[in-house]
C-alpha cells in the first residue's frame, strides 16, 4: 500500500501547488479516496472533524475577528504608526513590531489586512512608497507567529499531533525562548535590508478626501498614430505633463513598472496614471492616448466630484472569491463598474474579464459614485486599499474583548484549562458579551483551511498506518548515515522550509511530522527536537508570494514581483534556518 499512498501524496501536492481545483475539494476528495480504497476506516478518516486542533484553529479565527471588530487592535496599531511622525525608519519598525507582537497570539491574516490599510494611508499622508513596508509587514507577522503555541494554526496542529504520537503537547510559551530570538533577528535583518532591496513604487490610491481638484486613476491606451510610440514614458510625462503620475505600463497581460524597467512604448500599451480631470482631459485632447476601457457615466471633461475610481482588494474570507467580476448582478449588487483586475503581476482588462474568477489578493480597479464610498468601506467582502477608516462596531467593547482574550492566554498557559477548552470558552464569552456577532463569527472561519487540516491529518494517519512515513524517513536518512543528530535535524528543518514554499505550511507540518518522529527514533534520540523543528521549518516560508497567505495579500497592493520576495525572503529563510538549527538542541535535548 506504500506505493498507493505515495501516488496519493504526489497527486495531492500537485493539486495544492496548481490549485486546479479548490483546496477544500482536494481535501474532501482525499478523504473519499482513503475511505473508498479501504486504507482507512470511516472512523479513522473522519477523526479530523473532531480533532482538538481543528476546533482550536476555528476558535482562533473567531477570536481574531472579535478583537478586530471591536477596534481593540486597530486603535493600538494606528497609534503606533502615528508615533512614527512620517519617519521612514520609524514607520518600518513600528509596522513590523505592530504586526509581529499581535501575530504571536492571533491569526495574522486579519492583522496584515489591517496594516495594509494603515500603511497605504500613512504613505499617502507622507508621500512614501508602500512597497518599502508591505513585504516586511507580512514577514514580521509570519515570524511573530512562531513565538507561541497559538501564534499560528501550524503550531496548534503540531501540538495536537505530538499528543497523538505520545510525546506531549507544546505549552503556550514553550516555543518563546527560541521564537523570540529568531523574530528579533529576522526583524533586524528586514530593518536593514528592506530599504535597500525593496522597490519604491508610488501609491496610486490616495486623496479620497474630497479635495477641491480631485485626482483620478485612469487607464489610457497608446493609439497607432500616437507620437508616444518609441518614447520612454517617464521622461515624456515629467517633461510634458508634470501633473500626471505614471504608475504602470501594461503590455498584454504583463505589468511593467517604469521606475524600475526602462522601456519604450508600443501600440496598445496601457498606461495606469493619476491626475486631475483637467490634466487627463488635456492628455486626451492632445491625441497622444485614448481611454483604454471606456466606462459608461465616467467623464473626465468636468470636475465631477461625485465620480471616483478606486482600487479594492479581495481579502481571504470574501464571499466574492470565485465570482466573475463582470457579471451584471455582481456589479449592480456592489453599485460599481469594474474596469480591470490586477493579480500577481498580471493585468486583466474588461475585454479579458469574461471568464476570470476572483481570488484572494486580487486588486480591482472600479468606478463608482462618491455616495458609494462608505458602503464599500463597510463591506466585509472587499477593502478600499488606502482606506483605514472602517466603521468598527462596538468600540466600547474593546476592553471586554481584550480582557476575555487575556483570560484565555492566562488559563491556557497556567494549565487551568487546556488550549481547546480555553479557546472555545473565550469565543462563547465574546458572543454573549456582544463583542462578536454570531453571523460575524461564522463568516470569520476559513473553511478551506479547516478542511485542508482535516484532509492532511487523514493522510498523515494513512502514512503512519501503511509504513510510508518510516520508509520516507529511511530515504531521508540515507545521505546522512553516520552524521550527528544535530546535522540531521538542521537538514530536516531546511527540508520542511523548502516544502512549505510549495505546499501550505499546515499541510507540510502534518505530512512531515510523522517522518521527523520516525527519523528521530531511527537515530535513537528524543523526537522532541524534531517536533519543534517542524514548527519553525513549516513557518519559514518567506521566499515565495504563494508560500503564505499574508504574502499573497501584500503582493498586489505593493506592486511586487516574484523576485522581490526572493531577494528579501532568502536571507530571512537562511537566518531562521540557521538560528533554529543552533538553538533547538540547546533548549530541547536529544
Taking the C-alpha atoms of residue 471 and residue 466, their distance in angstroms, rounded to an integer, is 10
- Least confident range from 117-126, 277-286, 579-588: namely 277-286
pTM score of the predicted model: 0.71
- For the residues 105-119, what does the mean pLDDT come to? 79
Q: Is the pLDDT of residue 392 over 50?
A: no
- For the residues 213-239, what does the mean pLDDT come to? 79
Q: How confident is the model at residue 283 (pLDDT cuts 50, 70, 90)?
A: confident
Taking the C-alpha atoms of residue 241 and residue 271, their distance in angstroms, rounded to an integer, is 14
Q: Which residue's C-alpha cell is 535513537?
A: 524
**Strand 337-343 and strand 270-276: pairing?**
unpaired
Q: How confident is the model at residue 114 (pLDDT cuts 50, 70, 90)?
A: confident
Q: Is the pLDDT of residue 211 over 50?
A: no
- Least confident range from 153-167, 259-273, 419-433: namely 259-273
User: 118 and 137 in contact (C-beta within 8 Å)?
Assistant: no
User: 515 and 476 in contact (C-beta within 8 Å)?
Assistant: yes
Residue 226's pLDDT is what?
Answer: 82
> Percentages helix, strand, coil for the chain, rounded to the nearest 5?
60, 10, 30
Residue 386's pLDDT is what?
Answer: 58
DSSP 507-560: HHHHHHHHHHHHHHHHHTS-SHHHHHHHHHHHT---S-TTSSHHHHHHHTTTT-
Kindly report the length of the chain: 590
CATH superfamily placement of domain 308-385: Regulator of K+ conductance, C-terminal domain (3.30.70.1450)
Q: Which three cell numbers stand for residue 172?
A: 503556550
SS3 247: strand
User: 408 and 400 in contact (C-beta within 8 Å)?
Assistant: no
Q: Is the pLDDT of residue 27 over 60?
A: yes
Q: Is the pLDDT of residue 304 over 80?
A: no
How high does pLDDT run on average in the chain? 81
Q: How far is CA 151 from CA 102, 283, 364, 394, 507, in A?
A: 8, 51, 31, 25, 17
Residue 212's pLDDT is what?
Answer: 46
The number of CA neighbours under 13 Å toward the Cβ of 538 is: 27
pLDDT more than 90, % of the chain? 18
Supply the Cα-derived Rg of the chain in whole angstroms: 25
DSSP state of 171: P
Taking the C-alpha atoms of residue 270 and residue 249, their distance in angstroms, rounded to an integer, is 6
Topology at the third CATH level for domain 204-305: Alpha-Beta Plaits (3.30.70)
Taking the C-alpha atoms of residue 280 and residue 295, their distance in angstroms, rounded to an integer, is 15
Taking the C-alpha atoms of residue 197 and residue 194, their distance in angstroms, rounded to an integer, is 5
CB contact burial 564-582 (16+ within 10 A = b; e otherwise): bbbbbbebbbbbbbebbbe
Nearest Cα residue to 584 out of 146, 107, 103, 106: 146
- For the residues 409-415, what does the mean pLDDT come to? 83
- For the residues 117-127, what does the mean pLDDT come to? 77
Locate the domains of the chain by residue range.
Answer: 2-200+401-587, 204-305, 308-385
Taking the C-alpha atoms of residue 588 and residue 155, their distance in angstroms, rounded to an integer, is 16
Cα pseudo-dihedral 170, 173, 174, 179, rounded to 10: 120
Q: Is the pLDDT of residue 301 over 50?
A: no
The number of helices, as runs of H, and strands, as runs of E, in the chain is 24, 10
Taking the C-alpha atoms of residue 451 and residue 456, their distance in angstroms, rounded to an integer, is 9
User: 470 and 562 in contact (C-beta within 8 Å)?
Assistant: no
Q: How confident is the model at residue 388 (pLDDT cuts 50, 70, 90)?
A: very low
Amino acid at each position: 500500500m506504500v506505493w498507493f499512498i505515495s501516488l496519493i501524496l504526489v497527486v495531492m501536492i500537485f493539486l495544492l501547488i496548481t490549485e486546479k481545483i479548490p483546496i477544500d475539494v482536494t481535501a474532501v476528495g482525499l478523504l473519499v479516496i482513503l475511505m473508498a480504497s479501504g486504507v482507512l476506516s470511516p472512523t479513522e478518516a473522519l477523526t479530523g472533524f473532531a480533532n482538538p486542533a481543528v476546533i482550536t484553529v476555528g476558535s482562533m479565527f473567531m477570536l481574531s475577528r472579535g478583537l478586530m471588530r471591536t477596534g481593540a487592535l486597530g486603535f493600538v496599531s494606528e497609534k503606533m504608526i502615528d508615533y512614527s511622525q512620517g519617519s521612514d525608519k520609524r514607520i518600518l519598525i513600528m509596522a513590523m513590531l505592530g504586526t509581529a507582537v499581535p501575530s504571536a497570539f492571533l491569526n495574522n491574516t486579519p492583522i496584515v489586512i489591517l496594516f495594509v490599510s494603515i500603511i497605504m494611508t500613512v504613505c499617502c499622508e507622507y508621500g512614501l512608497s508602500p512597497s518599502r513596508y508591505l513585504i516586511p509587514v507580512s514577514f514580521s507577522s509570519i515570524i511573530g507567529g512562531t513565538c507561541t503555541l497559538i501564534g499560528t494554526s501550524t503550531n496548534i496542529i503540531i501540538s495536537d499531533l505530538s499528543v497523538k504520537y505520545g510525546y506531549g503537547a507544546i505549552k503556550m510559551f514553550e516555543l518563546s525562548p527560541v521564537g523570540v530570538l529568531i523574530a528579533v533577528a529576522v526583524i533586524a535583518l528586514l530593518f536593514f535590508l528592506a530599504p535597500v532591496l525593496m522597490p519604491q513604487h508610488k501609491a496610486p490610491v490616495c486623496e479620497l478626501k474630497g479635495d477641491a481638484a480631485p485626482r483620478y486613476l485612469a487607464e489610457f491606451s497608446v493609439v497607432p498614430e500616437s507620437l508616444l510610440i518609441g518614447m520612454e514614458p517617464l521622461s515624456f510625462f515629467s517633461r510634458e505633463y508634470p501633473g500626471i503620475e505614471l504608475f504602470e505600463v501594461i503590455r498584454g497581460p504583463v505589468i511593467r513598472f517604469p521606475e524600475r524597467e526602462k522601456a519604450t512604448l508600443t501600440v496598445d500599451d496601457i498606461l495606469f496614471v493619476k491626475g486631475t480631470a483637467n490634466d487627463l482631459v488635456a492628455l486626451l485632447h492632445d491625441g497622444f492616448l485614448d481611454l483604454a476601457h471606456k466606462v459608461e457615466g465616467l467623464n473626465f471633461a468636468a470636475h465631477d466630484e461625485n465620480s471616483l475610481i478606486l482600487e479594492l482588494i479581495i481579502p481571504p474570507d470574501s464571499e466574492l472569491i470565485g465570482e466573475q467580476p463582470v457579471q451584471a448582478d455582481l456589479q449592480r449588487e456592489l453599485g460599481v463598474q469594474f474596469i480591470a483586475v490586477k493579480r500577481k503581476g498580471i493585468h486583466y482588462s474588461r475585454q479579458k474579464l469574461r471568464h476570470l474568477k476572483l481570488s484572494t489578493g486580487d486588486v480591482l480597479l472600479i468606478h463608482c459614485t462618491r455616495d458609494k464610498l462608505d458602503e464599500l468601506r463597510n463591506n466585509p467582502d472587499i477593502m478600499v486599499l488606502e482606506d483605514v477608516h472602517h466603521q468598527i462596531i462596538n468600540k466600547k467593547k474593546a476592553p471586554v474583548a481584550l480582557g476575555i482574550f487575556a483570560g484565555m492566554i492566562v488559563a491556557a498557559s497556567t494549565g487551568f484549562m487546556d488550549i481547546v477548552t480555553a479557546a472555545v470558552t473565550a469565543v462563547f464569552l465574546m458572543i454573549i458579551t456582544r463583542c462578536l456577532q454570531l453571523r460575524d463569527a461564522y463568516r470569520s472561519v476559513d473553511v478551506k483551511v479547516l478542511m485542508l487540516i482535516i484532509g492532511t491529518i487523514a493522510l498523515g494517519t494513512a502514512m503512519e498506518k501503511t509504513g510510508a512515513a518510516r520508509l520516507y524517513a529511511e530515504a531521508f536518512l540515507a545521505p546522512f548515515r553516520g552524521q550527528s543528530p544535530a546535522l540531521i535535524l538542521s537538514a530536516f528543518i531546511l527540508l520542511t522550509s523548502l516544502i512549505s514554499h510549495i505546499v501550505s505550511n499546515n499541510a507540510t507540518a502534518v505530512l512531515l511530522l510523522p517522518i521527523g518522529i520516525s527519523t528521530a527514533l531511527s537515530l535513537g534520540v528524543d523526537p522532541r527536537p524534531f517536533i519543534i523543528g517542524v514548527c519553525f521549518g513549516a513557518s519559514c516560508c518567506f521566499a515565495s508570494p504563494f508560500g503564505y497567505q499574508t504574502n499573497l495579500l501584500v503582493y498586489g497592493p505593493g506592486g511586487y514581483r516574484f523576485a522581490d520576495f526572493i531577494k528579501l525572503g532568502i536571507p530571512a529563510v537562511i537566518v531562521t534556518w540557521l538560528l533554529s538549527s543552533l538553538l533547538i538542541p540547546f533548549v530541547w535535548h536529544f
